[in-house]
Amino acid sequence: MLLELKDIYKDYLQDKLVIPVLKNVSLAVEEGDYLAIMGPSGSGKTTLMNIVGCLDKPTSGTYLLDGEDIAKMNDKQLSNVRLNKIGFVFQNFNLLATQSALDNVALPLIYAGVKKAERREKARIALERVGLGERVNFKPTQLSGGQKQRVAIARAMVNSPKILLADEPTGALDSKSGDSIMELFSSLNNDGVTVIMITHSREIADCAKKCIFIKDGIIEEDTGRI
């Protein structure tokens, strides 16, 4: 089992009021899985994603990633997990506007302490993988929405993580660009990358091998393989 969440509770404190967001969530994802998480706004799917992505810690419950207990890790160790095991893709791309596509993709490698020449080479390969080999020196402003998301995916994949986490990856794209992003996800999944994505759209969720539906912090249905 690549990641295993057991009895996860997550509460937020707002004006001295404890607001439960996740209630007893258990989830297991195997290596090579392609999982879609669906649910209405405020259902807790982003919170679940943040916990899976090691950006947040659960209030209670255990989370084992690759056999390691995330709850026991300190800030530095969590950073290292994010750096080496997880790749993030966001709805609004989150690219650095002043940097070229190549520099954006190479960014995680800086934190991994990779030397400059190797960084550029790896970033170039990652960009070619997402079909942007011709546009390595373009700034994000010179790219279309779909191309920006491809750069973001290249950035997520450049350090060869096991897991790709995507939060509404097609939310800001037209359907045509969205489809090509989904094709890219499937292709990455076929290469062995575990993909977990949040989406609103049933159509997008259908691209995944598995889908879970979350409502009010509880997993309502586990559809299994479609």
Phi, psi of 121 (to 5 degrees): -65, -45
Q: Which is nearer to another protein, 147 or 159 (CB)?
A: 159
Segment contacting another protein by CB under 8 A, of 20-28, 76-84, 133-141, 206-214: 76-84
For residues 204 and 126, what is the distance between their CA atoms, to the nearest angstrom? 24
Q: Is residue 19 part of the contact set for another protein (CB under 8 A)?
A: no
Smallest separation, CB 78 to another protein (Å): 9
Smallest separation, CB 76 to another protein (Å): 6
Q: Which is nearer to another protein, 16 or 76 (CB)?
A: 76
CA 142 to each of CA 92, 127, 176: distance values in angstroms, whole numbers, following the listed order: 16, 15, 19
Are the beta carbons of 168 and 200 closer than 8 angstroms?
yes
Q: Which pairs with CB-CB distance under 8 Å and at least 24 residues apart come from 129-136?
A: 129/154, 129/157, 130/154, 130/157, 130/184, 131/184, 132/101, 135/101, 136/100, 136/101, 136/102
> By CB under 8 A, what part of segment 34-53 binds another protein?
50, 53
Q: Tell me the two tokens of residue 127.
A: 């960009």
Q: Is residue 100 part of the contact set for another protein (CB under 8 A)?
A: no
Q: How far is CA 10 from the centre of its chain?
A: 19
> By CB under 8 A, what part of segment 135-174 binds another protein?
155-156, 159
For residues 101 and 150, what is the distance between their CA atoms, to the nearest angstrom? 10
Over the window 185 to 214, marking each residue x when it contacts another protein by CB under 8 A and - when it does not, the resulting string is ------------------------------
Q: Is residue 76 part of the contact set for another protein (CB under 8 A)?
A: yes
| Residues lying near another protein in the complex (CB under 8 A) | 50, 53, 55-56, 75-76, 79-80, 82-84, 87-88, 90, 94, 96, 98, 107-108, 110-112, 116, 155-156, 159
